Structure 1
């Protein structure tokens, strides 16, 4: 009888390799980014962690043993969800591994814009000593967190350290610790005028595509800052640029964009009230540890017992 096969298409530290090998001692296990070590084993892989688009042909369009994919990213909008569902292949995301790193980036952007750190960095490069018009504080302001998942919850927790009022928006409207007021998605426009900071952490789905357009930016305070670390296509970028140029909102911190890499001719690059990072908000030294130890290994124990996957199982109908 052929051995069951696990492929992890990522480079891992020795302790993580040992943990995986000990979890499935009777399996064939292939670990590493080097395709040559596992490429000819794709058709027999029962589990793949670290899915790549090039795997689609041998695993989904040809006969294969694939039963479960562990995504190395939190977002799964690039996956062929309909095809995976039709083949009854389970998909689990890396949702939650970014909670610390992305919430830190959110506050780095909020504080950078509020305390004009971006202005002072530019002045430093010019050896220019100037006040820069600094006057705003983040304390006791109102933050609207659009999409209160793992990242949103950590952001709300940190916001409380600044004495902020936290308004959350989530599909279910279910209350959450550290969130003073929770509303459902369809109530988004009603809370925007209250917010000094609007932080979008939502995944890209049919419902969230261009969730933020001119209508939403017009509803915000002219003194408000917009932070997007979710997905670029949840924002109509031309409308955001117009809002920033015309002063409809005060500024923006952006880690994600409609087109990535952000095109060199984009006006966003030259706007003084914008902080840009290259879809790097989730980067952390502990990324692989969290995917393996907090998500994959616990799920693997259930899988080996024939039980349901309990952590980050993607709902194909919701798209996340």
Structure 2
């Protein structure tokens, strides 16, 4: 089996694979653009991120059977082409859940305990204890997306005594949530949210999901966190709502265009905190992804169902 990877696997991880399956050949490249036609033609399994996997590339890979992504989102992939060729796609769902849940909680704790304000006071040699602090206990968090990451955030919310409301595609109950609503429900509990967290994948149902009508339902004290995809939000509507102080603050880690253009109005808003798409970063991330892949190789060899197989029609 010929495996092509743009991810540099560790030597011990490669040894694990080769010790179990002597007929595996692993070819590592920095970029898919650098791979020879001959190598592309014999590749059966591709390990990569979703960017760079184009229709043109796939047309040069007639023997490709399985794509293992070291990322979760598949919105950048040519899904119809992949589906037509019966190529299996698996992703890294779950590998992000711990760092992203911790990041979300870091932002909520900063908001409640005003850590930035305290540090700014320190820079001014200012001793001021008259700061408005909040508690997370008893607050309501509403999550758009109830998958692995959403459930990990909700589990931590429960430890802090928070109420959890989820919004997903099916409306089916998920662990650690008090209530669940469908994406397209006529009435959503957005006006209950103290913290609104966007963590859903980008699909036809979720693209531009949060526009001005839903933003206007948030209460004035609400805080928005977008750690999912920039296109979950109508960005101009978000800018308007922030400028008009329709809700308290937004913490944004993802954007329509990345890097965020220098002329974006978001940079100048005092009620908007920008982070450069870093919520999933962890030194342990690649190890978690590789563990998923190694498990899947065993399943692939024996014809079992693979872990984290993507529903190509649903888009996640």
- Class of the TM-score when normalised by the shorter of the 2 chains: over 0.9
Q: Which runs of 5+ in 2 are unaligned?
A: none
Instruction: Kindly state the Cα deviation for residue 70 of structure 1 after the two structures are TM-superposed.
Output: 0.6
2:50·2:76 contact (CA, 8 Å) conserved in 1?
no
> Displacement of 1:128 after TM fit?
4.5
Asked if structure 1 preserves the Cα contact closer than 8 Å seen for 2:50 and 2:73, the reply is: no
Whole-angstrom CA distance in 1 between matches of 2:295 and 2:102 = 26
Cα displacement (A) at 1:28: 1.5
State whether residues 88 and 309 of structure 2, in contact with CA within 8 Å, keep that contact through their aligned partners in structure 1: yes
Which of 22, 25, 30 in structure 2 is aligned with 1:25? 22
Q: Normalised by the size of structure 2, how large is the TM-score? A: 0.92
What secondary structure does 1:316 align onto? coil
Q: Report how many aligned residue pairs link the two structures.
A: 315
- State whether residues 55 and 81 of structure 2, in contact with CA within 8 Å, keep that contact through their aligned partners in structure 1: no
1:36 & 1:239 partners in 2: Cα distance?
38
Compared with structure 1, are the counterparts of its residues 22 and 189 closer, same or farther at alpha carbon in structure 2 (3 Å cutoff)?
A: farther
Q: Note the 1:228-243 alignment, pairs <5 A.
A: 228-243=226-241
Q: What residue in structure 2 maps to residue 190 of structure 1? A: 188
What's 2:12 paired with? 15
Q: Matches of 2:61 and 2:188 in 1, distance apart?
A: 50
Q: What's the offset of the Cα at 1:52?
A: 6.0
- From 3, 8, 19, the counterpart of 1:6: 3
Q: Which residue in the other structure is 2:44 paired with?
A: 46
TM-aligned CA distance change 1:247 to 1:303, over 3 Å: same
Question: In structure 1, how many angstroms separate the alpha carbons of the residues matched to 2:118 and 2:5?
Answer: 44
Q: Which whole-Å CA distance do the structure 2 matches of 1:214 and 1:73 have between them?
A: 30
Q: Give distance in 2, aligned partners of 1:48 and 1:188.
A: 42
Verify the 8 A CA contact 2:4 2:47 in the aligned structure 1.
yes
Q: Is the 8 Å Cα contact of residues 21 and 29 (structure 1) preserved in structure 2? A: no
Question: Map of 1:169-318 to 2, 5 A cutoff?
Answer: 169-187=167-185, 189-293=187-291, 295-309=292-306, 311-318=307-314
Asked if the contact 1:51/1:69 (under 8 Å) is kept, the reply is no
Relative distance call for 1:252 and 1:84 in structure 2 (3 A) is same
CA distance in 2, matches of 1:274, 1:53: 28
Any stretches of 5+ residues in structure 1 without a counterpart? none
Q: What is the CA deviation profile of residues 20-79 of structure 1, one whole-angstrom value per residue up to 9, with x for unaligned ones?
A: 222431121123537698545122110011146545366412352100001111111111
Is the contact between residue 146 and residue 199 of structure 1 (CA under 8 Å) also seen in structure 2? yes
How big is the alpha-carbon RMSD for the aligned residues of Structure 1 and Structure 2?
A: 2.1
**In structure 2, do the counterparts of structure 1 residues 35 and 83 end up closer, same or farther at CA, with 3 Å as the change threshold?**
closer
Q: Take 1:188 and 1:14, find their aligned partners in 2: how far apart are those partners?
A: 53
Are 1:319 and 2:309 matched, yes or no? Answer: no
Task: Give the TM-score, by structure 1 length.
Answer: 0.91
Partner residue in 2 for 1:93: 91
Deviation (angstroms), 1:319: 0.6
Q: Does the 8 Å contact 2:151/2:176 carry over to 1?
A: yes
